[in-house]
Amino acid sequence: MTHQHDGGAHLHSNPDQDADPAQFWDEVYREKAKRWSGNPNPQLIAEAKELAPGTALDLGCGEGADAIWLAQHGWTVTAVDVSAVALERAEAHAVDVGLPDRITWLQRNFGSWHPEAGFDLVSSQFLHSPLLPWRDFLASAAAAVAPGGALLVVGHHPDGLTPWSGHKDMKDKFFTPEDLVEALTNGPGTWRINVADSRERAVTGPDGQHATTIDSVLRATRTSGAHTS
């Protein structure tokens, strides 16, 4: 999995709500030469395989493994993150695997920037931040999906956090698939829910511990309703 939750001190701190997210996340990345595993997220692979490649938007792309996997599988990718440190690593990874021109990397803060509409796939994988309520980014992600396009949101289920994750303040940070469906279907546009699952996954901790985590997975198709917000 892309995530290796190792209890990094900064990642699980409780920053002041006025903190600058770019600075906060740059610090999270600087704590380690490589923050995540470098592998694409398994739920992304499972769900994107169901779709015909087109344009994809990866929100909170981190060190870029998902964007690179999508580009390798025929997608034209725009990958966005607030952290310049993460994006620098992502771009270097794309160069290493011979994909320097297939992905557009953007540094943006989802607290103030909203993507343009019209993507065939909008994916957000584990976009959990103490500075970004999940409902805000869900609305923004949904608005970027083209009619007929897909929204894929994957994150930690609040009942499936690992003992070593050290996550605090779950409110506004984690979601169930039911939470996602409710928020999406109460928002603009109409949607067909393709997948709303809680999926268990075996994970290994920083000291070799074994545990089961739960991923909340939502895949939905926009059936009508142009971008309205």
Ligand X SMILES: C[S@@+](CC[C@H](N)C(=O)[O-])C[C@H]1O[C@@H](n2cnc3c(N)ncnc32)[C@H](O)[C@@H]1O
The residues that touch ligand X, with contacts defined as CB under 6 A, are: 2-3, 21, 25, 36, 41, 60-62, 81-83, 86, 108-111, 125-129, 132
The residue written with tokens 């409902």 in the block is 135
Shortest Cβ 164–ligand X spacing (Å): 15
CA 100 – CA 75 distance, rounded (Å):
14
Based on CB atoms, which residue is closest to ligand X, 61 or 214? Answer: 61
CB within 8 Å of 171: residues ≥ 6 apart: none
Shortest Cβ 112–ligand X spacing (Å): 8
Report the residue number whose CB is nearest to ligand X. Answer: 62
Classify residue 95 by burial, with Cβ atoms within 10 Å: 0-12, 13-18, 19+: exposed
Based on CB atoms, which residue is closest to ligand X, 56 or 86? Answer: 86
Based on CB atoms, which residue is closest to ligand X, 106 or 147? Answer: 106
Shortest Cβ 62–ligand X spacing (Å): 3
- Torsions phi, psi of 46, nearest 5? -60, -40
Calculate the dihedral angle through the C-alpha atoms of 91, 94, 98, 101, rounding to the nearest 10 degrees. Answer: -60
Based on CB atoms, which residue is closest to ligand X, 127 or 180? Answer: 127
Shortest Cβ 2–ligand X spacing (Å): 4
